[in-house]
A and B are shown apart, each in its own frame.
Chain A
Amino acid sequence: MELPPAQFPSRRAAAVAVAFLRYRRGGPGRALRLRELRRARTEDIKDVGHKYYLELELEDVLDKDSTVNCTAEVLYHLGNKNIAPDVQFTLEGELKSTEEADHVFYTRIRSLEKELVAENIPDSHGHVPPELEPLHLLAWVASGYLVWQNSTENTQLQLAQIKHVKQVRRSDEYLQFDYLVLLHEMVSQEIIPWEMTVLWHPRDGVRVTRESRQPGHTSG
């Protein structure tokens, strides 16, 4: 069944697909976001769940002129809400290489005398100090994992803010950052604190190795 892109079911599915994609393809030098949802179709698979077929146009936030087309499938499983939706995607064409920016960031962090610590990114006014922008992007990319793992047809999760980030030095070649982030769940409008440990290496990409939803934000 064809779905109008203006309506929320297709947009929520698209958001999940893009979150997953951003996680798989992103890094401190690249974050993809949805420019346009071209087409959406849904299929009810008996005893399995709802499947969405999506045609997307994505853009690189660091290079808005760089767009790439993508087809994606999102399957929300029936019943058990603790299973993450299945997401598959195909990108048409190549993404710009971020090798140089990645190398610069990697060596910069590795050569820091003291482990990096930062808070409130962006700040209340939406400002991100330029030298922290890669850390901001890395969080947005890694939060794609959280979004993917915790999405249902009745939720729409976004990264709202990094409350705290701390670099953790490792004996191996990976960079490790322990984040406390705030996620915004659009449907309930709740703000949810979430801890996540993020590993990154220019060669291997981003990995969330540990994540833990924290007890309630504040309604006090």
Chain B
Amino acid sequence: MRLVLLLSALLGASLALETFVGHQVLRIQTRNEEEVRQLQLLESLEHLELDFWISPSAPALPVDVRIPAAGVQSVKAFLESQGIEYSVLIEDLQDVLDKEQQDMAESAQRERSTSFDFSSYHTLDEIYAELDHLASEHSFVEKIQIGESYEKRPLYALKFSTGGSNRPAIWLDAGIHSREWVTQASALWIANQIASGYGSDSSITSLLDKMDLFLLPVANPDGFVYTHTWNRMWRKTRSKNAGSVCYGVDPNRNWDAGFGGPGASSSPCSDSYHGPSAESEVEVKSVADFIRNHGNFKAFLTLHSYSQLLMYPYGYKCTRPDDYAELESLGRAAANAIKSVYGTTFQVGPICSTIYQASGGSIDWAYDIGIKYSFAFELRDTGRYGFLLPATQIIPTATETWMGLRKIMEHVLKKQD
């Protein structure tokens, strides 16, 4: 009887539907077979134009139904009179659809302008696409190829240069150890920061007016791809080691600085294997050649993770570099700058006493060929997440790291006069 009344009410109020304004979606909790039958009866009445998203079948399963605006009150009254429990899943379907349209439009818009989400981790292809994007957006940013990896992937770097000819330059690299994902991610953020800061940020502007910057965000692309495809904990290159089943060389034991000394392994299966000879790894040789050929680098900065350390030479020997006092002082200033952002503390010191003795490292090599301002950063954290730093920490990490790098770059610039 009640069903007939409901039927009439709905027939009377039905309209030609073009939008979903006022449509509600209810979730109905049936408790027994009788209630399921009631709903099945409702479902069979086609002119009610009820749209069951989940049809009634068994008492334990929920029933979801979209009800045209005109029928909402009547259906609810019917359910209540039968003692059938329900809740409102969607108050107004058109609102939901409108929001969805908006989201999609915004997303498409974002895709056309900047698709790069700096707060998540990306693949090599995505990173390389962003390098192209940055280069196309800024006239003083150029994507250059430093060389090729063992597996023939390009080593792409960004050159920031506002003019001149072979200006004194700063080198910054990340991801030489592929599992240290926050470093490649931070390098991208920093690249964007520098690119968009020229002209508005006085520090970046005065730097790029006098000096060039070279940024290699993925120094070990083969290893990086391997961390995405096979083994998230891969550190080394992916070169084949003659006479061994084990692949790869630790690229930060492969530089020509105390090569083969303490703190590097001679076993190809080790994660700190130094390789058959200095610069045996094409990834290392390419950078070394580039820097040697350029001839005018004043700073060499490299990003690693994790441990929160800011270090200068030496690693291959435990004696102090000639410029110890200046490097220690500059290191402390940079660490203070980092700390000023979120309170993150970095320990400062020479590699050998701060972390461990390690031979064949990049900043030792750079320092020994005359690049005084050579620093290695170990970014967040101190071990809770280690290499698997949550993506939510990428931007905070990049932000604080940038403050430290800036401090160093400002000092280097000052010393150019």
Contact = CB atoms under 8 A, between A and B. Distances in A.
Given A125-B121, A140-B384, A219-B269, A187 B356 contact: yes
Nearest to A217: B233
B345 interface: yes
A184 B387 contact: yes
Interface string A155-171: 00011110000000000
Contacts of A107: none
Contact of B384 (A6, A11, A33, A186): A33
Contacts of B233: 160-161, 182, 184, 191, 217
A189 B250 contact: yes
A12 to B, nearest CB: 10
Given A161-B233, A220-B247, A124 B383 contact: no
A189 B272 contact: yes
A188 interface: yes
A34 interface: yes
Given A217-B233, A220-B245, A126 B391 contact: yes
Given A122-B385, A159-B386, A186-B356, 5 more contacts: A8-B353, A123-B388, A124-B228, A125-B121, A189-B271
Contacts of A44: none
Contact of A219 (B268, B345, B393): B268
Nearest to B234: A218
Contacts of B348: 6
Contact of A127 (B246, B247, B387, B390): B390
Given A125-B121, A189-B235, A8 B355 contact: yes
Between B236, B268, B382, the greatest number of chain A beta carbons within 10 A of the residue's beta carbon is seen for B382
Contacts of A80: none
Contacts of B232: 124, 161
Interface in B186-209: none
A61 interface: yes
A216 B269 contact: yes
Interface in B50-89: none
Contacts of A217: 233
Nearest to A158: B383
B388 A160 contact: yes
Given A161-B233, A189-B235, A219-B269, A125 B384 contact: no
A184 B348 CA distance: 22
Nearest to B268: A219
Contacts of B265: 188
Interface in B82-107: none
Interface in B339-359: 345, 347-349, 353-356
B386 A7 contact: no
B248 interface: yes
Given A33-B382, A188-B270, A188-B272, A122 B388 contact: yes
A7 B116 CA distance: 39
Which one of B181, B270, B384 has the highest number of Cβ atoms from chain A below 10 Å of its Cβ?
B384
- Interface size range on B against A: 35 or more
A36 interface: yes
28 contacts: A5-B347, A6-B348, A7-B349, A7-B353, A11-B347, A122-B388, A124-B121, A124-B181, A124-B227, A124-B232, A126-B389, A127-B390, A127-B391, A140-B384, A158-B386, A159-B386, A160-B233, A160-B386, A160-B387, A160-B388, A161-B388, A186-B355, A186-B356, A187-B356, A188-B265, A188-B271, A189-B271, A219-B268
B136 interface: no
Given A33-B382, A160-B233, A220-B247, A6 B347 contact: yes
B248 A126 contact: no
A211 interface: no
Q: How large is the interface on A (under 10, 10 to 19, 20 to 34, 35 or more residues)?
A: 35 or more
A102 interface: no
Interface in B275-318: 307
Contact of A220 (B246, B345, B355, B385): B246
B231 interface: yes
B246 A219 contact: yes
Nearest to B236: A219
A143 B390 CA distance: 20
Nearest to A122: B388
Nearest to A31: B384
B353 A125 contact: no
Contacts of A160: 233, 386-388
Contacts of A8: 353-356
B40 interface: no
B208 to A, nearest CB: 33
Given A6-B347, A161-B233, A182-B233, A219 B248 contact: yes
Contact of B385 (A36, A126, A216, A219): A126
Nearest to A19: B383
A186 B349 contact: no
B319 interface: no
Interface in B379-403: 382-393
B120 interface: yes
Contacts of A86: none
Contacts of A189: 235, 250, 271-272
B349 A61 contact: no
Nearest to A190: B271
A128 to B, nearest CB: 8
A184 B385 CA distance: 11
